[in-house]
């Protein structure tokens, strides 16, 4: 337990985290929670979050309560009475407590407004050169410049460590999100499916919000075929939208007795199933970030985003990075991610090359064990 830091003389700590969206960004912020709980023997942590993502925050066992806001609805219907009424209700709930520290991990105008409204002895955020939107700095008292080229999870942790003057190396242990009783039954029944019974269960999450982050389904099926042949693997197929479901259905057609297509899963159930498999395959997506909250290894493929910045931390996570054939370079995210007509950095990758890199890493893990 850490005993140093500016609040070491206080016996009870109330800390507020402000990270309202998006889903992947929220999940990438979760490593700050075990850090704070290890640092202070008696701490409660509340979290301000968009209402649509509140369920995953509520399910985290290290968070006392989620404080939902609906800024997205207000942005769409700023002239309506209902969204404004709900916003004022959220601000009222937010101001029921005074926190020792408020950490704004988002750095934009929306989070700055929530930080400004919160009651806190000290409000900590990003410096002018690190925030996404400059008005955010008006809401914080203590600010730090955080390098944007390091892993996004380390960026969040470094903000806290800089405040506490802590230069220790921090690990990121896994955590199980809390399941409802009905979800516990679903969890057990999925793991008992005959098609999944093998010594190597792989959860496959092929989807992403952006098509230029996805492998073509033919390439993915070829890659999974090689993994099945080498590892005798079975595949738990997880999807979000209808397009992802169609891809998973195609994978199931390719492996009819060795794969199971899951029904839509709640985020806590999805995360608990990640704990129960041997490997997770994903692209740069919420699925990959959710995997980073577990102790399960992951294998991911990146193209228009930088694996160094976005892949989960630690040697148990392996990422294959595609390269732009047009010579474009970038830090963090390719500026034409949404508009590139070919997405060639990932869509032109060969299954053989990806598999060769993967199997070298996978075998090295077996030797290390």
pLDDT digits (tens, 9 = 90+) for 283-336: 999 999 999 999 999 999 999 999 999 999 999 999 999 999 999 999 899 999
| Three-state secondary-structure class, residue 311 | coil
Look over the chain and give the mean of its residue pLDDT values, rounded to a whole number: 92
Domain with CATH 3.40.50.2000 in the chain: 13-164, 191-368
- In the prediction, which pLDDT does 4 show? 39
280 touches 274 (CB < 8 A):
yes
Q: How many CB atoms lie within 10 A of CB 350?
A: 11
Concatenate the DSSP letters of all residues of 164-180 into one string: HT----------PPPPP
Name the superfamily (CATH) of residues 191-368: Glycogen Phosphorylase B; (3.40.50.2000)
CATH of the domain spanning 13-164, picked from 3.40.50.10090, 3.40.50.1010, 3.40.50.2000, 3.20.20.30: 3.40.50.2000
pLDDT tens digits for range 27-36 = 999 999 999 9
pLDDT tens digits for range 325-347 = 999 999 899 999 999 999 999 99
Confidence of residue 185 (pLDDT cuts 50, 70, 90): very high
Question: Does the pLDDT at position 5 exceed 50?
Answer: no
Peptide bond before 83: cis, by omega within 30 degrees of 0? no
Confidence of residue 6 (pLDDT cuts 50, 70, 90): very low
- In the prediction, which pLDDT does 1 show? 32
- In this prediction, residues 43-54 reach a mean pLDDT of 95
pTM of the full predicted structure?
A: 0.89
Length of the chain: 369
- In the prediction, which pLDDT does 204 show? 98
Question: Does the pLDDT at position 366 exceed 70?
Answer: no
pLDDT tens digits for range 135-159 = 999 999 999 999 989 999 999 999 9
């Amino acid at each position: 337990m850490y005993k140093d830091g500016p609040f070491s003389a206080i016996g009870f700590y109330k800390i507020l985290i402000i990270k309202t969206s998006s889903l992947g960004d929220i999940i990438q912020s979760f490593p700050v929670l075990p850090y704070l709980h290890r640092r202070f023997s008696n701490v409660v942590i509340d979290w301000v979050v968009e209402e649509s993502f509140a369920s995953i925050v509520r399910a985290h066992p290290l968070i006392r309560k989620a404080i939902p806001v609906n800024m997205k609805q207000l942005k769409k219907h700023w002239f309506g009475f209902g969204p404004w009424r709900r916003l004022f209700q959220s601000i009222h709930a937010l101001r029921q407590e005074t926190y020792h520290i408020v950490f704004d991990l988002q750095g934009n105008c929306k989070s700055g407004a929530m930080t400004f409204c919160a009651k806190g002895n000290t409000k900590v955020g990003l410096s002018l050169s690190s925030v996404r939107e400059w008005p955010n700095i008006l809401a914080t008292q203590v600010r730090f410049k955080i390098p944007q080229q390091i892993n996004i999870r380390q960026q969040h942790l470094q903000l806290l460590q800089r405040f506490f003057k802590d230069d220790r190396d921090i690990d990121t242990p896994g955590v199980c999100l809390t399941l409802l009783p009905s979800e516990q039954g679903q969890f057990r029944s999925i793991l008992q499916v005959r098609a999944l019974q093998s010594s190597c269960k792989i959860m496959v999450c092929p989807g992403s919000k952006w098509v230029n982050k996805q492998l073509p389904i033919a390439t993915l099926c070829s890659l999974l075929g090689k993994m099945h042949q080498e590892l005798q693997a079975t595949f738990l197929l997880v999807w979000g939208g209808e397009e992802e479901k169609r891809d998973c259905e195609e994978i199931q057609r390719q492996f009819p007795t060795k794969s199971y297509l899951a029904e839509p899963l709640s985020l806590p159930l999805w995360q608990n199933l990640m704990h129960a498999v041997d490997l997770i395959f994903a692209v740069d997506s919420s699925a990959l970030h959710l995997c980073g909250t577990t102790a399960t290894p992951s294998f991911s493929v990146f193209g228009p985003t930088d694996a160094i910045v976005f892949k989960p931390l630690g040697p148990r996570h392996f990422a294959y990075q595609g390269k732009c054939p047009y010579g474009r370079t970038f830090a963090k995210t390719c500026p034409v991610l949404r508009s590139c007509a070919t997405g060639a950095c990932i869509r032109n990758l060969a299954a053989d090359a990806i598999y060769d890199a993967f199997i070298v890493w996978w075998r090295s893990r077996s030797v290390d064990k």
